[in-house]
Structure 1
Amino acid sequence: MSVVQKNEEPKKNTIAALDGVRAFACFCVISYHITHLTAGEKVWGISNIWHELGVFGHLAVDISLSGNSGVTLFFILSGFLLFMTYARSMLFDTSWPEARRFYLRRIFRIWPGYYVSLLLLIIISNRSYLQLANFWHGKQSFLFLTFFMDSSASTYQLINGPFWTLAVEWQYYMLLPLMALGMGWLVRRGTFKRRLTILLFCLGGLLLWGLATRWWGESWQLYFMPAKTNGVLKPIQYPLLAGAHPLLPAGVRNFLLFFVYGQNGKFMEDFAIGMLISVFYTIAQQLPEHPISRFCYKSSRYMWFLGLAFLFFAVVWPDVPNWFYQAPFVSNQQWGEYFYPWVGNNSPLAPYIGAHNWLSEMPFALGYGCCMQAILFGKRDLQWFWQLGWMRWLGLLSYGMYIWHLPIILAYNNIMQPFQHSINNIVYYGLYWVLVVVIVIPFCYLFHILIEQPWIKYGARVTGKKVTKIPPVDVPEAVAVGSTKE
């Protein structure tokens, strides 16, 4: 049985599986940070893994260090969930979502947890930010308070590493009603086919905008800006952009970089993929017998395996040649001659999908997008895991866990470092996960109960529920089933 029930009224909890997907995204990020901290001499050190597990060990390293792609999945989820009511209104003339209500719901969901966490982390370990009389600290504090800490090298990944992604999310929230209004002006007239065609073109343009701004931003970062600071490595310069020349005055360039690109892009291509999936989901809700809906149902299993293929490629492509490094049938000379030219930054793919390059998000975004669509339209065997009670519960806590896991893990790491050489590698790594279960999750549960939940409930009371239904323009009313509930 698919999440989208054919010929049934969709209920508010019909996307329960996405709570589990949100938990998965959060644990991907946690896994990345734990693995990154224990890399080198510990269990995930590549030299240890190669000697102990060979190819499978190297694959384990690649998978564990790709957990930062959980951020990509979060962006896709946001694009999907928040654009759905706009897609329904554009395609089927349901009531247009009220901007005031949208912004208030986002404010009451995001602000309390973020600002409380920011204040506590500043008091605990970053007290210099309290010196507002100092112009430099005042400027940095202003960027953190206004969710632009992703746009300046002086605040990027400071105080708390994951904060920069909240800035990207918040900026998307602020732009979404305006972008949807522009799309709606183009889309909300004519037949359903015309509306769908124009909407898909708009979202395709948004995806291309994300890729174009990433290419443009990285080209400026590579050739006309100083190297990034705060431990963020400057990407390798490739001949593809060697002939680029500055065409804009420095002030205009810096202004555009700040708002359009920031330090690592605004990830609009990820949000656009989520928005595309929401269009297909909306059509399936309203018109379950439409050819697009039937295709989504029938192709769900193929989409699942296609998504896994994209993800597998995204994880292993830089290091597959390294798998043959210690193979008995490959000599060092053969490896250096035939395999080394394809490793990491030597690969011909590196200028495009390598770290920080303009297509770097696409393999993961396409993989997660295909898998998410498979879960939404697939049968029970594709959904049951994501709908488990404990997965949904962890998904409920994912916002707090995403904010707090790294500060807690870093504090624990400072305590454990003196003992790292006297503890078995596997035990040492496992203790970090014990910390997550015993400390991080209970702490974030209390954080959710005391900080997040009261404000979410208050926001629901302030905004209320507004549900109306207007039949589609060119589709018989009896065929169009569904509701406008968020």
Structure 2
Amino acid sequence: MNKGLMPSYLLGADGLRALACLAVIFHHLTQRLAMHNQTTVVQETQAFFLLGNAGVSVFFVLSGFLLALPFWKSYLVGGKFLDMKHYVFRRAVRIVPGFYAAFFVSVLLAYIWQVETEFSIARLITGLTFTSGFHYTTFFPSELNGPLWSISFEVFSYLLMPIFMLGLFYLGKKRSFTKAISYWLGVMVLILILNQGVHFLFTPDEVQRGWEYGLIGGAKFWIPNYNPIGFFGQFAIGVIASLVTVHLFRRTDLIQRFKQKGGFDIVSGLSLALVFFFIFLVRHSGEFSLSIQNQPYYFPIFPTLIAITLCTAPLSRLFGKILDNFLFRYTAKVSFGLYIWHFLVITMVERYWQPTYVHMGMSDFNTWLVVSIVVLFISYIIATLSYYLIENPVLIWAHKRQRRTTQKEQTVRKEAM
């Protein structure tokens, strides 16, 4: 292991992305099973999988972790701040094509099926501009595709992270791991203060606040516990985990000895096991319990356990490889498509095949299981088509474009010398 050198592929990231994606899908599938008609064993299992929505938190931690890596690699060796033009371009080509496709199909189906959609113009505009999460009336940009709500929060985090990084890069000439982690812990404190301000200033009134009033009522119930500032705290945990990982790779001799003894396998395996054990323990708790400032997904306990797995799996000898098995790596590849399309599949199954496949609506377990397997299978097919026909062609085009741009810049610099 060369000092300061990290592999381009980090073990464990794909496995965690796949687990997060499947957890969210299983959350929505198990919502369709009428819990009160099931055996005790099924009820307890269902309660566990209903907390699969915490997979959204994993996505935020993962994004913070992976997007911060190039910043930390440059920062710790005294390098320059990243080119923001390239950063924004890469984020746009990764998110926009797939999201726009799913969003337009969702809007079109709502029009064809004549689904009543309040604030339709505002939701359309904010959906297209990734600003829907700033108000409860637009929080869910699509009436038919609820999971799209989180995308605006992700985009907000994408933009906010470099702003904080910029402050660190220009905060004195001396750079160190200690300085960087102290700075980002300070960012975490600032985020908590700002989030408290959001709670104080933007808590909605109680008029038609609740899921019984539809998606807008549900969004009104979620806000302000769900807000872009608060979710950036989960993203920031990933940023800090990324810094720790880069630092660990630079501590060559010490880390190599710990790795050879299987230390990282133990830590990463144990932390992920604790994730599942923690979710099992809190399966009957309230939606905003056991977390700071009533944030969702048990902040900061749950995202911190995920971050520990992310930090240590890349240095493990065996655990990271097990986590990144073939199925999980493929699931990770098409995970964005799975996330943005699976709920539309559920909706179409309800409309054209199983009308009882609604929230807590299906009593027979065997029927529910068959339908859910079909939904999962179709979702994989659509996600695969989305990746190979929409997402990947744009990524390939963007990679070629960026390579040509880099070559031109290098040519200009040589000619100027």
TM (normalized to structure 2)?
A: 0.82
**Alpha-carbon displacement from aligned partner over 1:367-398 (angstroms, at most 9, x marks no partner):** 21222223222221x12222222321221101
Contact 2:38 2:363 in 1 (8 A): no
**Structure 2 match to 1:91:** 76
Distance of aligned partners of 1:99 and 1:413 in 2 relative to their CA distance in 1, 3 Å threshold: same
Q: Does 1:33 align with 2:33?
A: no
Q: AA paired with 1:202? A: Y
**Structure 1 match to 2:343:** 406
How big is the shift at 1:262? 6.6
Q: AA paired with 1:450? A: L
Q: Distance in 2 between matches of 1:7 and 1:209?
A: 33
Distance of aligned partners of 1:61 and 1:210 in 2 relative to their CA distance in 1, 3 Å threshold: farther
**Structure 1 match to 2:173:** 189
Distance of aligned partners of 1:300 and 1:396 in 2 relative to their CA distance in 1, 3 Å threshold: same
SS at match of 2:307: helix
Distance of aligned partners of 1:466 and 1:62 in 2 relative to their CA distance in 1, 3 Å threshold: farther
Q: Does 1:154 align with 2:137?
A: yes
Matches within 5 A, 1:77-476: 77-126=62-111, 136-159=119-142, 160-186=145-171, 189-190=173-174, 195-220=176-201, 222=203, 226=207, 227=209, 230=215, 231-232=217-218, 263=227, 266-289=230-253, 298=263, 300-317=265-282, 319=284, 344=285, 352-353=290-291, 356-357=294-295, 360-380=298-318, 382-418=319-355, 424-437=364-377, 439-464=378-403
How big is the shift at 1:411? 1.2
Distance of aligned partners of 1:466 and 1:282 in 2 relative to their CA distance in 1, 3 Å threshold: farther
Q: AA paired with 1:199? A: A
Contact 2:51 2:283 in 1 (8 A): no
Contact 2:61 2:236 in 1 (8 A): yes
How big is the shift at 1:157? 2.4
Where does structure 1 lack aligned partners over 5 or more consecutive residues? 237-256, 320-343, 468-486
Where does structure 2 lack aligned partners over 5 or more consecutive residues? 408-417
Distance of aligned partners of 1:232 and 1:350 in 2 relative to their CA distance in 1, 3 Å threshold: closer
Distance of aligned partners of 1:411 and 1:265 in 2 relative to their CA distance in 1, 3 Å threshold: farther
The size of the alignment, in residue pairs, is 395
RMSD: 3.7
How big is the shift at 1:102? 0.5
How big is the shift at 1:128? 10
Distance of aligned partners of 1:225 and 1:33 in 2 relative to their CA distance in 1, 3 Å threshold: same
Q: Distance in 2 between matches of 1:306 and 1:423?
A: 36
Q: Distance in 1 between matches of 2:256 and 2:74?
A: 18
SS at match of 1:361: coil
Contact 1:83 1:278 in 2 (8 A): yes
**Structure 2 match to 1:484:** none
**Structure 2 match to 1:337:** none
Q: Does 1:67 align with 2:52?
A: yes
Distance of aligned partners of 1:359 and 1:67 in 2 relative to their CA distance in 1, 3 Å threshold: closer
Q: Distance in 1 between matches of 2:297 and 2:328?
A: 31
SS at match of 1:417: coil
SS at match of 1:436: helix
Q: Distance in 1 between matches of 2:264 and 2:302?
A: 20
**Structure 1 match to 2:415:** none
**Alpha-carbon displacement from aligned partner over 1:193-247 (angstroms, at most 9, x marks no partner):** xx222211221122233433444434555576753662417669xxxxxxxxxxx
**Alpha-carbon displacement from aligned partner over 1:338-372 (angstroms, at most 9, x marks no partner):** xxxxxx45xxx976539944883222212212222
How big is the shift at 1:105? 0.7
Q: Which has the higher helix share?
A: 2
Contact 1:307 1:367 in 2 (8 A): yes
Q: Distance in 2 between matches of 1:359 and 1:262?
A: 10
Contact 1:288 1:294 in 2 (8 A): no
Q: AA paired with 2:192? A: L
How big is the shift at 1:280? 1.6
Q: AA paired with 1:434? A: V
Q: Distance in 2 between matches of 1:19 and 1:306?
A: 16
How big is the shift at 1:318? 5.9
Contact 1:405 1:440 in 2 (8 A): yes
TM (normalized to structure 1)?
A: 0.71
Q: Distance in 1 between matches of 2:228 and 2:86?
A: 30
